[in-house]
């Protein structure tokens, strides 16, 4: 029985200590001379495209593909610098659960993240975690996180020649925010919420994930779910 694990990054695998948020604000300043802030926007679980489009609109800049690309490119440059400045780390149990899943030939792992693909690579490269993910759906694919699930399933099919679109219950969407959970529910996947990141256990419980963990030292609960226990 094959399983597909689709992982969020920030707050789930990695604590980037605000590097992405700092880099995005600096990039807006460098590209447009704009003094920007996130006030009034719920960042947790949003996609980078969604955030950039919101920042452009809020600061009366043109929400064009050209401006998106320009700011994205500068953001990646600055992200590499900012990742070296903070107290970045992976969460407890993360490397162990990725390794264990990786050793099972019937378990595939991909990314389902709001990060731009290049930003995902930069963040995961700090911890040598890119090796676990052969494909992903990313923040440039859509502003709407719920649109990323079907894209991830399509890429899983192309990468592993297995059609999880017909077996959504064998797909496990893993993340730290209510947006991750609703994104998984939108494709009929099982959902694994982890309270290491941006949303509390109480807030995550409201959207009824399949299981809810404090952190990945509770990996046995994940594998029990995968094995149908």
What residue ranges bind Mg ion (CB under 5 A)?
8, 10-11, 176
Cα gap 182→46, rounded to integer Å: 12
Residue carrying the six token digits 């990039």: 27
Kindly state the smallest distance separating residue 176's Cβ from Mg ion, in Å: 4
Kindly state the smallest distance separating residue 79's Cβ from Mg ion, in Å: 16
For residue 201, report the phi and psi dihedrals to the nearest 5 degrees.
Answer: -55, -40
Kindly state the smallest distance separating residue 198's Cβ from Mg ion, in Å: 6
Burial of 198 (0-12, 13-18, 19+ CB in 10 A): buried
Pick between residue 10 and residue 48 the one whose CB is nearest to Mg ion: 10
Pick between residue 107 and residue 113 the one whose CB is nearest to Mg ion: 113
Pick between residue 92 and residue 106 the one whose CB is nearest to Mg ion: 92
Residue 225 to residues 76, 194, 211, 219, Cα–Cα distance (Å): 36, 14, 8, 10
SS3 of residue 213 by DSSP? strand
Pick between residue 164 and residue 198 the one whose CB is nearest to Mg ion: 198
| DSSP one-letter code for 229 | -
Residue whose Cβ sits closest to Mg ion: 11
Kindly state the tokens that stand for 152: 């991830």
Strand 14-15 versus strand 171-175 pairing type: unpaired
Pick between residue 10 and residue 140 the one whose CB is nearest to Mg ion: 10
Kindly state the smallest distance separating residue 45's Cβ from Mg ion, in Å: 6
Kindly state the smallest distance separating residue 8's Cβ from Mg ion, in Å: 4
């Amino acid at each position: 029985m094959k399983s597909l694990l689709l992982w969020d990054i920030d707050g789930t695998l990695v604590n980037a200590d605000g590097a992405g948020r700092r880099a995005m604000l600096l990039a807006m300043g460098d590209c447009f001379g704009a003094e920007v802030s996130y006030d009034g926007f719920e960042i947790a679980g949003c996609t980078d495209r969604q955030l950039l489009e919101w920042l452009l609109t809020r600061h009366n800049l043109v929400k064009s593909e050209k401006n998106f690309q320009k700011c994205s490119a500068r953001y990646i440059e600055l992200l590499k610098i900012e990742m070296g400045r903070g107290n970045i780390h992976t969460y407890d149990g993360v490397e162990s659960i990725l390794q264990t899943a990786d050793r099972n030939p019937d378990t595939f792992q991909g990314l389902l993240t709001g990060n731009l693909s290049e930003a995902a690579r930069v963040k995961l490269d700090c911890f040598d975690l890119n090796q676990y993910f052969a494909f992903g759906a990313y923040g440039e694919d859509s502003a709407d996180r719920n649109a990323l699930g079907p894209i991830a399933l399509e890429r899983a099919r192309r990468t592993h020649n297995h059609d999880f679109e017909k077996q959504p219950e064998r797909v496990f969407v893993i993340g730290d925010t209510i947006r991750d959970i609703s994104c998984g529910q939108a494709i009929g996947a099982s959902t694994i919420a982890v309270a290491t990141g941006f949303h509390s256990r109480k807030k995550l419980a409201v959207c009824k994930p399949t299981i809810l963990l404090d952190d990945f030292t509770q990996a046995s609960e994940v594998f029990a779910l995968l094995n149908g226990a």
